[in-house]
Amino acid sequence: MVMPMPMVMQSRGRAPPCTRTHQIGALAIAAVVFIFARSLDRPATCVYSPSRPAPALFDHAGTLRWPERGYGSALSLKIYVYDEHEIDGLSALLRGRDGRISAESCIKGQWGSQVKIHQLILKSKFRTLKKEEADLFFVPSYVKCVRMNGGLNDKEINQTYVKVLSQMPYFRLSGGRDHVFVFPSGAGAHLFRSWATFLNRSIILTPEGDRTDKRDTSAFNTWKDIIVPGNVDDGMTTFYGSSVVQPIPLSKRKYLANFLGRAQGKVGRLQLVELAQQYPNKLESPELKLTGPDKLGRTEYFNHLRNAKFCLAPRGESSWTLRFYEAFFVECVPVILSDQVELPFQNVIDYTQISIKWPSTRIGPQLLDYLQSIPDEVIHEMIAHGRLVRCLFVYASETEPCSAMVGIMWELQRKVRRFHQSAETFWLHNGSIVNRDLVEFHDWRTPVPLP
């Protein structure tokens, strides 16, 4: 039997009758509750807000926080570095055929990262002198610098690489999967013409990403290779301020934007030069001379770069440009005008907070109008966010809380593949590794057939 609900009584007498006013009020409350409940059911949308906070990149000790997912909770690597004297021909990839090219002459400029990465790994706490315990093997080469200085021609580079690789039993053992190479120019691994035959499984460090816009095959593979920062002038990347020039307050900068580069006959760059001629008070684009009395010196170059709110970074021969990284050290917001560009450490850096990527097909007055519409307070926020992460573009030791080498080490750790045997290696019941002739690995003699 269902008992009737007790009547709710006021302290004095029966409850008042439900009037029309009460009914309208009840309906209004129900409508508000319904709308609120529906709003909770809707999926959240991510709307850009210029005042959104910068991500928490550092822990309480000031150390860079790396994503645990896919990386691990701590760095644990052992890297073997080949010495130029243990492999016949390796010194030629570092110093040229006659040994006249020095590391000091190669460490400066756009391709200096090949030297810096080598030198920093030699001093790294992750370096091991035992091949048998190594997770990865680093193959040093300054081949871009060597080629540019006439130390080796293209044919010699190809022959020397093949000669060097054939003296590395561990390269044969893994099929090259655990060997690391640096190619710091826009040409990437294409400097080694036979890269597709011999390095198609190896880990390549390069500032250059997909090149299929210019070549049939790209030497960059997202799943095994690593994008590294370009090599910014050391005088601009000190942790405690530039020794070359200091940033100018935003309100005192002369130009809205600048493009400091040579046209090189490239469409986007030619459009920027023409745009600067049309709007000389908004866009600075001086003609850069490589030689002669009008050539911009290092200080003059950075003095120009810092005098605009936005630094335009169009593609050149390839999709990456050093100007993108330089912009952060003069505290100018970089504007990427290179559709195929790949950027380093994207699992940590939110590039939408510190830069702008604009379609290269829309270079014109519309671009300048858009940049002029951005309030100074938003520009200040982007610069402040960029100031937090630019340490990842500095080639310093991984013992620093934040540096390019910290980022590279984390990325290398993610590339370690424990199952290293290639199609040309085999194992027996006792775990010994043999080749097709059933010769055990410790008895392999060079030159070994390359995989």
Note the pLDDT tens digit of each residue in 93-148.
999 999 999 999 999 888 899 999 999 999 999 999 999 999 999 999 999 999 99
The H-assigned helical ranges of 108-190 are 113-122, 143-148, 154-165, 169-174
Residues 199 and 342 in one domain: no
Q: Does the pLDDT at position 236 exceed 70?
A: yes
Joined together, the tokens standing for residue 393 give: 């573009």
Residues 222 and 267 in one domain: no
Joined together, the tokens standing for residue 111 give: 């391709």
- Residue 20: pLDDT band (50, 70, 90) is low
- Cα–Cα distance between 96 and 399 in angstroms, integer? 32
- Cα–Cα distance between 47 and 24 in angstroms, integer? 37
* pLDDT tens column, 200-230: 999 999 998 876 666 777 888 889 999 999 9
What is the domain range of residue 217?
A: 79-230
239 is a domain residue: yes
48 is a domain residue: no
Residues 97 and 242 in one domain: no
What's the structural domain count of the chain? 2
Residues 321 and 356 in one domain: yes
Cis upstream peptide for 280 (omega within 30°): no
Residue 223: Cβ within 10 Å count: 5
125 is a domain residue: yes
- Cα–Cα distance between 339 and 440 in angstroms, integer? 50
HSE (side-chain half, CA atoms, 13 Å) at 42: 9
Residue 193: Cβ within 10 Å count: 14
* pLDDT tens column, 50-86: 455 555 677 777 777 888 888 888 899 999 999 999 9
Residues 188 and 272 in one domain: no
Residues 124 and 176 in one domain: yes
Residues 164 and 182 in one domain: yes
72 is a domain residue: no
Last residue of a domain, one of 211, 230, 249: 230
